[in-house]
């Protein structure tokens, strides 16, 4: 059950909507804490303060809820990206803003990363089962990024010939791992990566990396 649909339904908020939403929220929390295999239907409904039967009524089964959770998080991200407006900023500033947005979004939505990790464990098999809907959610960020690179090249701020996909992966990588693996990395480096200082330091560092990489002065790239 994707979010969009819900908003296009009857305005009259039937109880079902409430229930459906409560279970979805609880499911996301549970899946992000325990993975798909470790999640239990019972804990989900308890968290949602709903009856076990309701989950089956609204989502068919555990997998149905899991897929709905994934879809919901994708959708939510898409909506957030769609609200981004970088046009008023200079290309370098816009690029920094994009990095900061990505960083902040991951930080504030760790369930998204958890579910993505879980989904990769399963080689995205659940995603495939719903792909039309999720595919339909073409990334606004990719479009934004493409436009921005073009604008920067024209303005002379950025080098030309840079692959948008690569820049997308670059930014994602730099934001993702730090957030997603902060527990094992903190252990590995014997220092708390979750402290405000550590986070601020990293954000500045990666902004610089991206901007330097794209800046027109010198160096070849792909």
Partner DNA sequence: TATGAATGAGAATTCATTCAT
Partner DNA sequence: GATGAATGAATTCTCATTCAT
Q: Give residues in contact with a second copy (CB under 8 A).
A: 32-39, 114, 116-121, 123-124, 127-128, 131, 134-135, 139, 142, 163, 165-166, 168-170, 172-174, 176-178, 180-191, 201-202, 204-206, 208-209, 212-213, 217-222
Place of tokens 């089956």: 56
Q: Which is nearer to DNA, 48 or 149 (CB)?
A: 48
Spell out, one character per residue from 34 to 53, where the chain touches DNA: x when CB under 7 A holds, - when not. -----xxxx-------xxxx
Q: What is the DSSP letter of 125?
A: H
Q: Which is nearer to DNA, 61 or 131 (CB)?
A: 61
Four-residue CA torsion sign, 96, 100, 177, 186: positive
Tokens representing 165 are 């996909």
Please list the alpha-helical segments (H only) found in 60-139: 62-82, 91-108, 110-121, 125-129, 131-136
Residue 170's binding partner, choosing from DNA, a second copy, none, with beta-carbon cut-off 5 to 8 A by kind? a second copy
Q: Which is nearer to a second copy, 156 or 183 (CB)?
A: 183
Bridge partners, 215 (sequence order)? 158
* Minimum CB distance to a second copy, residue 195 (Å): 13
Q: Which is nearer to a second copy, 21 or 41 (CB)?
A: 41
Tokens representing 159 are 């080098």
Contacts of 29 (CB under 8 A, 6+ apart): 47, 111
How many Cβ atoms sit within 10 Å of the Cβ of residue 69?
28
Which residues make up the interface to DNA (CB under 7 A)? 11-19, 39-42, 50-54, 56-58, 61-63
């Amino acid at each position: 059950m994707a979010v969009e649909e819900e908003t296009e339904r009857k305005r009259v908020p039937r109880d079902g909507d409430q229930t459906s939403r409560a279970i979805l929220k609880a499911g996301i929390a549970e899946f992000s804490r325990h993975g798909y295999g470790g999640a239990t239907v019972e804990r989900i409904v308890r968290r949602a303060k709903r009856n076990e039967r309701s989950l089956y009524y609204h989502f068919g089964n555990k997998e149905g809820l899991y897929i709905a959770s994934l879809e919901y998080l994708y959708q939510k991200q898409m909506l957030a990206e769609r609200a981004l407006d970088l046009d008023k900023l200079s290309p370098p500033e816009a690029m920094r803003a994009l990095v900061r947005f990505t960083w902040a979004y991951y930080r504030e939505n760790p369930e998204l990363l958890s579910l993505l990790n879980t989904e990769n464990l399963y080689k995205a098999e659940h995603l495939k089962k719903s792909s039309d809907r999720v595919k339909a959610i073409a990334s606004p960020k990719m479009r934004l990024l493409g436009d921005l690179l073009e604008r920067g090249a024209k303005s002379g701020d950025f080098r030309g010939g840079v692959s948008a996909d690569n820049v997308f992966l670059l930014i994602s990588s730099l934001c993702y791992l730090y957030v997603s693996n902060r527990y094992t990395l903190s252990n590995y480096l014997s220092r708390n990566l979750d402290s405000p200082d550590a986070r601020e330091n990293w954000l500045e560092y990666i902004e610089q990396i991206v901007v330097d990489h794209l800046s027109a002065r010198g160096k070849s790239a792909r």
